[in-house]
């Protein structure tokens, strides 16, 4: 496991992904700290961050959640190529000839990606927290939900890219698959309107079934925001997406076992 974590870490450094994270985090901090200087004019009166109190807190949590959502998306896209690159012709032999079962190799590598890229997200998140705490004197334990659910989201994305990468052996297909799922979950988010607007039961049931199957990362991000703000939440999108992730991972292992390299 240690070897695979180090292997993933070295690849991350080599691909300079760390700089992308640094730039995004820096931009977010500049934006967050800069918002302190914003003054709102409402009915001729000036309001700043301190005056609007709870509303500003909500905005900050929302911004933090959005930052995490962007990081999850970028991480998923950059990590999408890790598994397919591992099993390209000529490199697969190196990994598969070692005394480690295919199941163990794939699961450990997926976990290694989650640990390494998750650690990067965690670092980015804590830099955000420190910046916000120092600048606004604002910290709530509810914020931890944002990173915790961000990591769960990353795991879900990873399983999508892993199964696509293993099945097709192509990293571009792996990234495309992640995109397609992202678009699909966004469209399926409107399933409520489909039910209202379309008469066909077949279409409604199909859309509903797909809605429950496809991972709902946007809704999960919404759950993180609600939990951070202490609002009540429906956890169905979270657990159904996690279930999808485990099924996808199991399917990836099965496909991996049948493949010749």
131 to 160: interface string for other proteins, x by CB under 8 A: ------------------------------
C-alpha dihedral sign at 249, 254, 259, 261: positive
Find the shortest distance in angstroms from Cβ 255 to other proteins. Answer: 13
Closest CA to 220 of 193, 176, 182: 182
Sort 210 into a burial class: Cβ within 10 Å, 0-12 / 13-18 / 19+. Answer: middle
Task: For residue 76, give both structure tokens.
Answer: 């998923």
Find the shortest distance in angstroms from Cβ 239 to other proteins. Answer: 34
SS3 at position 59? helix
2 to 41: interface string for other proteins, x by CB under 8 A: xxx-xx--xx-xxx--------------------------
| Binding of residue 194 to other proteins (CB under 8 A) | no
From CA 58, how far away is CA 53, in angstroms rounded?
9
- Using the minimum distance from each CB to other proteins, give the nearer residue, 246 or 261: 261
Question: Angle of helix 236-258 relative to helix 201-213, nearest 10 degrees?
Answer: 80
| Binding of residue 260 to other proteins (CB under 8 A) | yes
Question: Is 65 in contact with 228 (CB distance < 8 Å)?
Answer: yes
From CA 238, how far away is CA 155, in angstroms rounded?
12
| Binding of residue 98 to other proteins (CB under 8 A) | yes
Residues 77-96 that bind other proteins (CB under 8 A): 85-86, 88-96
- Using the minimum distance from each CB to other proteins, give the nearer residue, 95 or 136: 95
Q: Contact residues for other proteins (CB under 8 A)?
A: 2-4, 6-7, 10-11, 13-15, 85-86, 88-101, 104, 258, 260-261
């Amino acid at each position: 496991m240690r070897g695979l974590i180090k292997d993933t870490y070295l690849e991350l450094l080599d691909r300079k992904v760390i700089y992308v994270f640094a730039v995004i985090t820096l931009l977010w901090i500049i934006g967050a700290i800069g918002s302190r200087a914003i003054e709102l004019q409402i009915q001729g009166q000036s309001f700043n961050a301190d005056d609007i109190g709870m509303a500003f807190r909500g905005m900050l949590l929302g911004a933090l959640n959005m930052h995490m959502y962007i990081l999850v998306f970028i991480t998923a896209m950059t990590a999408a190529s890790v598994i397919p690159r591992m099993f390209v012709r000529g490199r697969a032999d190196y990994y598969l000839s070692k005394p480690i079962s295919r199941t163990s190799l794939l699961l450990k590598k997926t976990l290694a990606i989650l640990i390494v890229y998750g650690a990067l997200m965690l670092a980015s998140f804590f830099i955000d927290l420190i910046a916000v705490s120092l600048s606004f004197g604002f910290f709530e334990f509810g914020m931890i939900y944002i990173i915790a659910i961000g990591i769960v989201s990353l795991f879900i994305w990873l399983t999508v890219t892993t199964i696509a990468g293993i099945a097709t052996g192509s990293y571009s297909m792996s990234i495309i698959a992640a995109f397609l799922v992202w678009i699909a979950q966004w469209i399926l988010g409107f399933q409520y309107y489909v039910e209202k607007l379309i008469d066909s039961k077949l279409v409604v049931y199909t859309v509903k079934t797909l809605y429950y199957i496809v991972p709902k990362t946007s809704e999960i991000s919404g759950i993180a925001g609600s939990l951070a703000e202490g609002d009540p939440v429906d956890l169905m999108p979270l657990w159904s997406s996690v279930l999808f992730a485990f099924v996808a991972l199991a399917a990836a292992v099965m496909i991996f076992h049948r493949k010749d390299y």
